[in-house]
Amino acid sequence: MQFYLNNSSTKYLGCTLRYKRIVVDGCKLPRKSKPELLGGSLFHAMMAEVDDRHDFNYFTVVKKPVHWDEVNGNLAVRYAMLADKIYTEHPEWFKDCRREQVCEFPVTTIEVTNDKGEKIGVAVHYNFTPDLMYYDAEDDCVVIRDYKTTGKPINGDLFTKYALESQPFFYQLGLIWASIIVGNPLDLPPHWIKAILNERVKFGYVFINATVGESGQVVVQPLRFVDTNVLNRYRQDLSEKMQLAATLHIKPELASKEGIFTDACTYCEFRNVCAMNDPDREDMAMKHWPLGFKTYDPRIKEL
């Protein structure tokens, strides 16, 4: 028995019923459909490939299947120009770098006792895909950059929202665990490993808005070392979440509507089902979930 733990699935645990439905049962979620969201996915795909070829062509360089008919053409062109601008203005980011590297490895096995009193080992597979990682020789550190595309103004509100994100901690912990516990499954060079083990990892977002003005807007957040004290608290919290997730995979019947007590229901895909407030009808609705089911696997990203 195994399951994937990624930054998104840890958020689903804010309501154990939501987690069960998405990760344990594999309910498919609505596909991104707004042009801005699709444009964002496209931008990420472009950043994974952009280089200094003069014939850089966003239509041919994106290797994933794209629903082009749903992407606003002008928006796609602007994203392509912004991808090119970032690459041209920050060539040092792309020298000793890894782009969109899928980082996935087993970190631990948790024992859960099932209803029959048997102990079941549940392997936890840590999973994350940093948009860009590079080694900064001047500062002897590994830098993680994450691209956030947005249709909203890039201002203090956006920075405040992302300041609360768990992503920097999830990623840094992943790099440390990959280097210590699992023996370099990412095949990182020795100077990267040394920096990671010395906790020399910096994180910063790059905000991109292609909908404003003629040329769009890019704001590069200053890099910061991930705070060790906060990281230690996060590590403890994450251990508890792993235990909870492992338990739900063996005993899914323990899941309940915790989202009611937080604001998790507001944006939840299952709110119409939960609003029935009738266990039998809710079970029936979930058996016939209209979007279908697919084994939860965060390694597969659809555009």
Q: Applying CB under 6 A, which residues contact ligand SF4?
A: 15, 17-18, 257, 259-260, 264-265, 268, 270-271, 274
State the nearest-atom distance from the C-beta of 253 to ligand SF4, in Å. 15
Q: Which is nearer to ligand SF4, 58 or 270 (CB)?
A: 270
Measured from the CB atom, is 212 or 265 closer to ligand SF4? 265
Q: Which is nearer to ligand SF4, 134 or 270 (CB)?
A: 270
Q: What span, in angstroms and rounded, lies between the C-alpha atoms of 251 and 268? A: 22
CB of 180: closest distance to ligand SF4 in angstroms?
A: 35
In whole angstroms, how close is the CB of 166 to ligand SF4 at the nearest point? 18
Q: First vs last Cα of the chain: how many Å apart?
A: 29
Q: CB nearer to ligand SF4: give 81 or 286.
A: 286
Q: Which residue is nearest to ligand SF4 (CB)?
A: 259
Q: Which is nearer to ligand SF4, 18 or 249 (CB)?
A: 18
Q: How far is the CB of 17 from ligand SF4 (least distance, A)?
A: 4
Structure tokens belonging to residue 104: 């996935």
- Given a contact cutoff of 8 angstroms between Cβ atoms, the answer to whether 246 and 116 are in contact is no
Q: Which of these, 135, 132, 153, 162, lies nearest to 43 by C-alpha position?
A: 132
**How far, in Å, are 61, 142, 152, 160 from residue 207 at the CA level?**
22, 20, 10, 13
The distance of closest approach from Cβ of residue 176 to ligand SF4 in the complex, given in angstroms and rounded to an integer, is: 31
Question: Strand, coil or helix: what is 48?
Answer: helix
3-state secondary structure 179-226: HHCCCCCCCCCHHHHHHHHCCCEEEEEEEEECCCCCCCEEEECCCEEC
